[in-house]
A and B are shown apart, each in its own frame.
Chain A
């Protein structure tokens, strides 16, 4: 009985890991396809599709745009989220619960609706779509995240250190910048890393709020119109690699902090 259960467990785990990895393996394998179609049989390795991605001006421009939008919107999200978390954790403000609810509300709404709402209001107020509006959209979805992460790591023990700094003559911005922020660095780093990965990967808001300059997922979306193509595989593999590298970097910096 137990032996059967154990065998079934390992069989099941193997099958599910296979299912989970299947599309990624196919994607990466056929990015090296020496042929016109990324489907079997595999015709031997080549790097020419990666060269094609590298030489594609609109792809590399989109990659740059994605980086700028991800870094800028994540910085804004972290700043807004950190300040709000500090104010709500320290201030004992009337209506604190309601404000907390309002700030985290965007987490409960689908990206499509946030993007559409912003598109309609930019449209009505005459603001034309650009990388700036994409960045605003991404900061809307990431601010609640940074707020929640910072809020969770605000502790009472930090209050006395802040008071000590104030007693010793630090100005308010100095307390925040030189005392509170360094104490919350792990939370800030985690919030920033998560925001960057979300923004880097976000499609629908970027699609709705951009026109001429687009981010990488939007550019890849337009590549899809050409159907199955090893070049799309190569572009997708590069994006995957960058994301995994970012996750690993975040994991290692956080782990090192914990020790």
Chain B
């Protein structure tokens, strides 16, 4: 190796080192500490460093903890499916029906509320869904219902808040996917006699499926790890895993249990990631 090359390599190491050390100190080490913490126990107000799996055994044996994971999974799957189903047509309309020079504007408008603060957006939904809120008053005013719907502080409210956020996110990702498709594929199918629905079903949809999967995975990860939306909109009737994790930090200050539940949450996300990656590989092969 020549000397300038060696100097170049040394410079490169010096440049990468700060970010590596930063990630080690404030990301890798904290995770190791969290994993260690999950194997310790709380006794009274103290954390005792006895290493065992009792927190995980507790998780599996206590119905309210296992139930929280179950609630999380149900809500996340529901939100992911509804969001994809709602966002796909919107992305398609923007990509296919809106004139090209207006597409950027249409897209920017579709994600404008994305820029409201996450906390504020959930609060805004409580305004809409409250017992005497906008939605109920509008429905009663229109004569569609006689009594206000009890939507606030339910699973329905949580799902609504989530779907609102992820429809915007997925419209972006699916649109990006749709505009990348060469128009020739669709023209070829149309030339061969396929109607608009057949073109969509046999050409457009299969080609955008990998993109949809990536967007759905992103939705899954962000949704299952979120504390804010279920806490503000869902109330305390039906807790999800992040809410239960935050509860451990409250009165009891059970850090080991919070750590164990976090590891469970991470395991679920990793499993989803592996499934998604495997599917994408199979699709490509």
Contact = CB atoms under 8 A, between A and B. Distances in A.
A160 B255 CA distance: 53
A110 B225 contact: yes
- The DSSP consensus for interface residues of chain B is helix
Contacts, number: 237
A70 B137 CA distance: 40
Interface residues of B, number: 76
Given A30-B127, A204-B228, A80 B18 contact: yes
Interface stretch (A43-51, A81-89, A182-190): A81-89
Interface of A: 1-2, 5-6, 9-10, 12-13, 16-17, 19-24, 26-27, 30, 38-40, 79-81, 83-84, 86-88, 90-93, 99, 102-103, 105-106, 108-114, 116-118, 120-121, 123-124, 136-137, 139-140, 143, 147, 172, 197, 200-201, 203-204, 208, 216-217, 220-221, 224, 228, 232-233, 235-236, 239-240, 243-244, 247
A217 B227 CA distance: 14
Interface stretch (B56-64, B113-121, B178-186): B113-121
Given A22-B128, A113-B265, A136-B26, A87 B15 contact: yes
Interface string B1-41: 00000001101111111111011001111110110010000
Contacts of B94: 13
Contacts of B19: 80-81, 83-84, 103, 143, 147
B245 A116 contact: yes
B236 interface: no
A54 B93 CA distance: 42
A120 B253 CA distance: 11
B265 A110 contact: yes
Interface centre among B12, B20, B164, B195 (most CB of A within 10 A): B12
A30 B123 CA distance: 12
